[in-house]
């Protein structure tokens, strides 16, 4: 793991994410790219009336100074940090920055969201999770020395999850953490018998190429099952695949990965399927 992107909005949440990224970078001799979205829209940048180019330059310089001050932290001293300022607040652009710098991970702070706010507005972190093709780690609280010992990876054992599992294993190995896989068995149409689950496990292991220890946990829904199993396991990191659905598809079908990232107190890493 050599390159880590951290979106910065100068909040306590982005400071929490930056501190976790610094812990990861220090252990892996990685570079942290601190990304700030300036929120200047195209109309302002191109306008010849009412807004002069020197004002745009002034705002950019002001953002550069504020970002420099924000990055003046003791915990960043051993780390190589590269500040990046983009003019637009377009969340797909975070993925483009990650691609341009060959990033391995995006670390992002979040408070989470609930209820109507979650449905109609969502969170910036949720939007990044939807757009990102690389793993996104969501941080909810301040963690001074991030060193997870046990990571839970939850999936439905379908073949489409193989690549996500492999990336989760890479993340766990990077932290020298034990990786536990769990299948959440729920009532209703999705309920599977013991024989059916064992068949899915055998197929998954055959595709992976080696035997994997997979726990089976029964609960009323997948999200609750993941959070309850994680608490029972005393894990300190959750990994979960996500389809990254957008628009009406996301509204009607939702995303378990985003729901877990929203509601878990523990750090969550999402992996795009």
| Among the listed residues 108, 59, 52, the one whose alpha carbon sits nearest the alpha carbon of residue 86 | 59
Q: Which tops the pLDDT comparison, 266 or 92?
A: 266
Q: Kindly indicate the confidence band of residue 189, based on its pLDDT and cuts at 50, 70 and 90.
A: confident
What mean pLDDT is predicted for residues 180-202?
92
**pLDDT attached to residue 253:** 38
Give the Cα-Cα-Cα angle 264, 208, 168 (nearest 5 degrees): 30
CATH of region 1-146: 3.40.50.620
String of DSSP letters for the chain: --EEEEE--SSHHHHHHHHHHHHHHHHHTPEEEEEEE----HHHHH-SSSS-HHHHHHHHHHHHHHHHHHT--GGGTTSEEEEEEESS--THHHHHHHHHTT-SEEEEE-----HHHHHHT--HHHHHHHH-SS-EEEE-S--SS---SEEEEE----GGGHHHHHHHHHHHHHHT-EEEEEEEE-SGGG---HHHHHHHHHHHHHHHTS---EEEEE-SSHHHHHHHHHHHHT-SEEEEEE----HHHHHHH--HHHHHHHH-SS-EEEEE-
Q: What is the average pLDDT score of the chain?
A: 84
Residue 161: other Cβ atoms inside 10 A:
21
Q: What is the mean pLDDT of residues 133-143?
A: 92
pLDDT (tens digit per residue) in 97-113? 889 999 999 999 987 65
Predicted local confidence at residue 121, as pLDDT: 39
- Say if residues 200 and 113 touch (Cβ distance below 8 Å): no
* Same fold yes or no, 1-146 and 148-273: yes
Distance CA 38, CA 48 (A): 20
Query: Does residue 271 register a pLDDT over 80?
Result: yes
Cα–Cα distance, 145 to 229 (Å, whole number):
24
Predicted pLDDT of residue 183:
95
Domain extents in the chain: 1-146, 148-273
Q: Which residue has the higher pLDDT, 30 or 121?
A: 30
pTM of the model: 0.86
Query: Considering only 7-21, 167-181, 242-256, which range has the smallest mean pLDDT?
Result: 242-256
The domain 148-273 is placed in CATH, from the list 3.90.1150.10, 3.40.50.620, 3.30.450.90, 3.30.413.10, at 3.40.50.620
């Amino acid at each position: 793991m050599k390159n880590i992107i951290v979106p910065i909005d100068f909040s306590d949440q982005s400071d929490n994410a930056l501190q976790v990224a610094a812990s990861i970078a220090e252990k892996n001799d990685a570079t942290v790219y601190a990304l700030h979205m300036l929120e200047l829209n195209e109309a302002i940048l191109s306008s010849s009336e009412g807004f002069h180019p020197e004002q745009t330059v002034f705002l950019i310089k002001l953002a550069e100074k504020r970002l420099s001050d924000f990055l003046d932290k003791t915990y960043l001293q051993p780390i190589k940090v590269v500040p990046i300022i983009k003019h637009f607040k377009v969340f797909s652009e975070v993925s483009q920055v990650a691609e341009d710098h060959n990033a391995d991970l995006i670390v992002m702070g979040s408070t989470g969201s609930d209820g109507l706010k979650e449905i109609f507005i969502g969170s910036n972190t949720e939007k990044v999770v939807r757009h990102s093709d690389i793993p996104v780690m969501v941080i909810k609280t301040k963690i001074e020395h991030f060193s997870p010992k046990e990571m839970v990876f939850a999936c439905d054992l379908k073949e489409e999850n193989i690549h996500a599992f492999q990336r989760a294993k890479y993340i766990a190995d990077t932290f020298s953490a034990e990786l536990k896989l769990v299948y959440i068995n729920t009532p209703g149409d999705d309920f599977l018998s013991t024989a059916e689950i064992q068949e899915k496990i055998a197929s998954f292991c055959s595709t992976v190429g080696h035997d994997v220890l997979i726990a089976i946990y029964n609960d009323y829904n997948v999200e609750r099952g993941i959070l309850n199993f994680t608490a029972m396991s005393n894990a300190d990191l959750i990994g979960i695949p996500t389809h990254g659905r957008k628009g009406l598809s996301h509204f009607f079908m939702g995303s378990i990965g985003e729901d877990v990232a929203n509601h878990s107190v523990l750090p969550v890493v999402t992996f795009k399927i």
